Amino acid sequence: MKHSKMNEVFSKILQQHQQRHLKYSHFSIKDHWYLKDHIDGFIPGYLKLFEYSPSLIEKAMCYYTMSYIPKIQQRFCQKILNPFKHHYKKRLPDSIPFTPILDSLETILSQHSHLIKLWTLADISSFLNHCIYTMLSLHKLPKDLYQEEKKIQNNYCIQLYPELRERLLNDSLPFDLLIYLVTKANCIDSSDEIHQQQIQVFLNDVGNYLDGNTDYKEILDSCNYFEDKALYYDCCGEQKCFLYECDNHGEIFFDCLLIEYLLRKGHTVVLSLKSSPVLNDVTFQDFSTLLKSPALQHFQDYLHNKSFHIINSGSNDVIKHLPFLSDDYKTWYHRSDCIISKGQGHFTSYPKCLLGLKNRSIRYQKPIFHSFILKSRYTQHELRSVHKKAFRISEPYAKYFS
């Protein structure tokens, strides 16, 4: 495809996403069905892109001078495109040269930097994914660029699943260790290029925890935030409905342990899944296929008695846009008593406050339990802003927001 034609395609996609971005300023409380109180200026995330600059001076320079100083504009665009390169450069088939796509995206972002700087991470990641999937569609290629990695991740994690499940059924898997394993499994993320050897290191660590060779409680004590007590009380109390937002392949087998724990306590669990492939996230179709495997056959009874449901969230974005989720998601959100939300993308999609000159707290209709491994500098910035503490990359985070 010629550079000019590619620019035209990407420019049209950008206009579509700009229109969606602008809709937020016209939404009423009815559109923000997830909020307890209406809050003016709600955006899909914590900060606008220019606000992730480390200092007030850099924020001001980024906001006021980007359109006039090419060097600042170039640095801004490159910072946006670096994760995109990381995700897709090695994964695109040879029939789609990556450099022309990158050049075209940089051109479009530069031309529209006055708009892009006001977008959020949710906006920009959605736009970039839309662009890459459009290119795949034009070349009549499948969307799932992570298919082989997903298989590898699942094959590794399924090795430990039977032993872990046996311990769960025998009540010999303590709740805090279960939550730690469910959280730690979030390290299995293709965006960080965790290879087979690194996955094996994680699985070896799991074996050491189970054998008592490593004291996981010392690790939990060293974390800034690893709080499982509130979720434990929810699990051990009266029957509830949990809306469970999963994240990555491989990790999903550890999620299945917590899901079965909840089901055995008499709770209802609704598993929310992506509508189509994005990175190595589990899609509705992916999990529907996994459920037919011998390893997960025991969930069939729960599906038949309707204590376990799987739904399509309506999102194919790394960071979901809450107002545009599926009717199924909205229905089960209102029916649920608690949300269990895995991964950094889900954390960013439910911002706890609007950051800026005057921070404003955001309250949701339902309590949310977040669980993930910190991998992104953006999420690190968000956590520091919410908790007024420094967080280490690769640190486990588990926090219940009531």
Domains of the chain: 3-138 (no CATH), 147-401 (3.40.50.10880)
pLDDT at 190 over 80: no
Distance CA 366, CA 268 (A): 16
- Contacts of the segment 84-92: beta carbons below 8 A, 24+ positions apart: 84/128, 84/132, 86/191, 86/193, 87/190, 87/191, 87/279, 88/132, 88/145, 91/145, 91/146, 92/132, 92/145
The confidence band for 219, taking pLDDT boundaries of 50, 70 and 90, is confident
Q: What is the mean pLDDT of residues 251-256?
A: 98
Q: What is the mean pLDDT of residues 42-64?
A: 87
pLDDT at 199 over 80: no
Buried b / exposed e over 178-201, threshold 16 CB at 10 Å, is bbbbbbbbbbbbbbeebeeeebee
Q: Sign of dihedral through CA atoms 37, 41, 44, 50?
A: negative
Give the distance, in angstroms, between the CA of residue 241 and the centroid of all CA atoms in the same chain.
21
The confidence band for 342, taking pLDDT boundaries of 50, 70 and 90, is very high
pLDDT at 192 over 60: no
Compute the mean pLDDT over every residue in the chain, rounded to the nearest whole number: 92
> Most confidently modeled of 72-76, 240-244, 389-393?
240-244
Least confident stretch, 67-81, 159-173, 186-200: 186-200
Instruction: Give the predicted TM-score (pTM) of the model.
Output: 0.94
Percent of the chain with pLDDT over 70: 97
pLDDT of residue 310: 99
Residue 394: exposure state from Cβ atoms within 10 A (0-12, 13-18, ≥19): exposed
